[in-house]
Chains A and B, each alone.
Chain A
Amino acid sequence: MAEVLKKIKFEKWKGWLYLSPAIILLLIFTVWPIFNTIRMAFLEDFNTLQASRGAVFEIGFKNFEKVIGYKDFLTCLGNTMILCVLTVPLSTILALVIAVCLNSIKFLSRFIQTIFFLPYVTNSIAIGMVFAAMFNIVGSFLGTDNQIVQTWGIVNEVLRAFGMEPINWINSGSDYWANIWVMVIYIVWNALPFKILILLGGLQSVNKQYYEAAKIDGTSRIRTFTRITVPLLSPMIAYVVITGFIGGFKEYSSIVGIFGDGMGPAGEKGKLNTMVGYIYDSLSLHQGRASAAALILFGIIFIVTMINLYVSKKKTHY
């Protein structure tokens, strides 16, 4: 009898035993950090060096004030926003067009699909180095009267072949918007595969009869696209936009790939730094501010996601 009771009792708790490795690890590496980050963010000027000798920190909002009032942080915030606002719509629209085209062909479809998926299986730092090499100019004093150029780089050669002026994309003295466009091109290139895959999956599950109906009605292709495809795909579009924004606000390693750890062109470190980059920069000396910045980032992502969800609920046809 006692034996059976014991067994029943064990059955009731057995699940926890199976889950124990996961729970223990999550407690240490996920749950505790959440609490600790909040704690550090509200301890004024908290840093581990002073903490290690038992210094006492006051509780307050000073870390947040400092971070928000710091110009470099605003630069990081601005860069992140600009990249998000440019890359998410661009990559989504491009992915949508490609997915629709892919969906309407048969011959070579799988082959082309595989090509479009290739950027996904690359190391974003490694291929970033390839992009950097493509945009790189070997030379000095670019943009001054005395500029010395050895090699314009392949991208500029293509521009020149079309009779355009070469552009200083990523080298010292380069223009901010030139830098941004290089990043946009790279990030979009990198983001396409996932979006195409999701949207194509969505398209393939769309009931063909709507298209038949439209065809019979003699609806133009563009109209079919905007009036049928987009509404039907709206859940998938919402999904790629939301994940796109979340990923966009965490942009970091693609910039390291192009510009290196300096997060900017030669001579202008930090010009293209992002929120995540800012957090990592503060990590070794100003942990309180890093925590505050991380919470701000979380807040922004949370708000943007909520807005996205709200908008997509209104616009999405389920």
Chain B
Amino acid sequence: MKKRLVAFLLLVVMMVSACAGLTACGTPDDGKLHISFYHTMGQNLRDVLDRYIAQFEALYPQYKIDHQQIGSYDDVRDQIATEITVGNQPNIAYCYPDHVALYNLAYAVKTLDEFIDSTEVIERADGTTEILGLTEEQKADFIQAYYEEGRQFGDDLMYTMPLSKSTEVLYYNKTFFDACKAIYDAEFIKDANGNNVANPNYHNEIYNLKVPTTWDEMEETCAKIIAIENAKLSDADKAAGKKANVIPLGYDSESNWFITMCEQLKSGYTTLEGDEKFIFDNETNRKFVERFREWYTKGYVTTQEIHGSYTSSLFVEQGAGKTKSYMSIGSSAGATHQRPTADANGKYPFEVGIAPIPQADATNPKVISQGPSLCIFEDSAEEMKASWLFVKFLCTNIGFQADFSIASGYVPVIKSVDTDELYAEHLESADGGDNIAALSVKVCLAQEAYYYTSPAFNGSSAARDEVGALLQKCLLIKNVADVPAEIKKAFAEAIANCKYKAD
């Protein structure tokens, strides 16, 4: 009886451990060194990556790259932060500077300087060799601002390598803008019988639409668009007090908007100099927030969180009776989402124009630098070396940089991509329809001198989240007697939250 009982209990224990064991199978021992890589690439980018991984593995058959898409950037960060605590982090990961600062609480990110400076000669399977480090030409080939981003952690050490970059751009409905301009310019229009009659809107200022280059112009443009749309309403609707179903501008990222304004106005966001890291609570910033709140109450602008989904949905909207927008500020890497759906003949309902975002001060243009870098995590020397070789391969390979840019709309990080014929052809074909990604890359490339980055430290990512939430909150302030006081309160709270989270 005892035996049976023991056997039975053993069975239970075995069932439990079998469950645990289920996880243990799956990695066949192929004698290769496996390198894991976490990223956020969608299917089209994974296809590009797979092609170049095959090339890399042909050069280094002893290595095997296992890559995995982990949701969004935040998901990558959260998962790795957990995995570091138990030493289970990947070898390579997509990263933003904030993430590196976080991982470094556990000293988990490998500094790259010793690899970069190494002159060790590595043999490849095809008989050629390369040095482990970066050659002078390779270093010079990087767009310097991007390359230096890896060194922004306050200790002058290199933590990350740039993979691809993007910024924010202004998408506008070119067809609409052109049509309005045409109304403004035409002295005569045809009436119902085909006769030329005087255009009542000839040189009517509200139709004089220009793509805004400053925020003042943006305000004007928004007001004009609303006036134009209101003019289209029927008399009955006007009498009933109806308003046009239009939101002139959508801004996708509240955080970017706030931080970019701080940079453009030179008013301060975060800093590593001095005791106080969070310096965004100042008069200038409160003023611009108050101004944008006015815009919101006037119906000029909405943002992603407030709208409830990407504002590109408003921009591409074509349905009758639906709310539309005619301008949208979003990532240059998301150009294809800002393009309306083509009809059965492949024709787009409108043409998209892309311009730099508006500036506060035309003499001091600033646009955000975003897009993934790569970092390598502490592990055995052999794994880190293999990881470095792969990172270097992706960042310096012209073919990969070109194909990745074509597939995504991200900007390559090396200059020599220009020599790639296919890539040149791709840029040449840029338009506001099928080749919108190329158009957005072109607009980005023209602004490379204006990119800024914010300091990265433990808590910088909290600050980013907080200022985004702060802007949302302030935009939504109702018409109360003392709006500036409400805004002041919200700023003070945001600072307190930053301190709590960074601490």
The answer to whether A binds B is: yes
What per-residue 1/0 map shows which CB atoms of A43-81 lie under 8 Å from chain B?
A: 001011111110000000000001000111000000000
Q: Say whether A221 faces chain B, with CB atoms less than 8 Å apart.
A: no
Most buried by A among B105, B107, B302: B105
* Residue in contact with A267 in the complex, picked from B243, B298, B473, CB distance below 8 Å: B473
A125: shortest Cβ distance to chain B, in Å? Answer: 18
Stretch at the interface among B45-53, B400-408, B492-500: B492-500
Q: Say whether B126 faces chain A, with CB atoms less than 8 Å apart.
A: no
A53: shortest Cβ distance to chain B, in Å? Answer: 5
Q: Say whether A173 faces chain B, with CB atoms less than 8 Å apart.
A: yes
Chain B contact surface mostly: helix
Residues of A within 8 A of B308 (CB): 171-172, 266
Identify the closest chain B residue to A69 (Cβ): B500
B68: shortest Cβ distance to chain A, in Å? Answer: 19
Q: Say whether B200 faces chain A, with CB atoms less than 8 Å apart.
A: no
Residues of A within 8 A of B245 (CB): 148
Contact B307 A49 (CB under 8 A): no
Contact B302 A140 (CB under 8 A): yes
Contact A267 B2 (CB under 8 A): no
Residue pairs across A and B with CB atoms within 8 Å: the count is: 106
A259: shortest Cβ distance to chain B, in Å? Answer: 11
Q: Which of A239-287 contact B (CB under 8 A)?
A: 266-270, 284-285
Q: CA of A143 to CA of B473 in the docked complex: distance in angstroms?
A: 14
Q: How many interface residues does chain B have, given as a range?
A: 35 or more
Residues of A within 8 A of B436 (CB): none
Identify the closest chain A residue to B496 (Cβ): A71
Q: Say whether B472 faces chain A, with CB atoms less than 8 Å apart.
A: yes
Residues of A within 8 A of B82 (CB): 48, 284
Contact B323 A53 (CB under 8 A): no
Contact A50 B299 (CB under 8 A): no
Q: Say whether A20 faces chain B, with CB atoms less than 8 Å apart.
A: yes
Q: A17-B5, A148-B323 are in contact. Are A49 and B305 (CB under 8 A)?
A: no
Contact B503 A45 (CB under 8 A): yes
Q: A21-B13, A49-B102 are in contact. Are A148 and B78 (CB under 8 A)?
A: no
Contact A150 B323 (CB under 8 A): yes
Q: A140-B323, A267-B306, A269-B469 are in contact. Are A53 and B107 (CB under 8 A)?
A: yes
Q: Say whether B484 faces chain A, with CB atoms less than 8 Å apart.
A: no
Contact B107 A267 (CB under 8 A): no
Contact B475 A267 (CB under 8 A): yes
Residues of B within 8 A of A146 (CB): 243, 297-299
B406: shortest Cβ distance to chain A, in Å? Answer: 34
Q: Say whether A120 faces chain B, with CB atoms less than 8 Å apart.
A: no
Q: Say whether A298 faces chain B, with CB atoms less than 8 Å apart.
A: no
The residues of B with any CB-CB pair to A shorter than 8 Å are 2, 5-6, 9, 12-13, 16, 78, 81-82, 84-87, 102-103, 105-108, 243, 245, 247, 296-299, 302-303, 305-308, 321-323, 469, 472-473, 475-476, 478-479, 493, 496-497, 500-501, 503
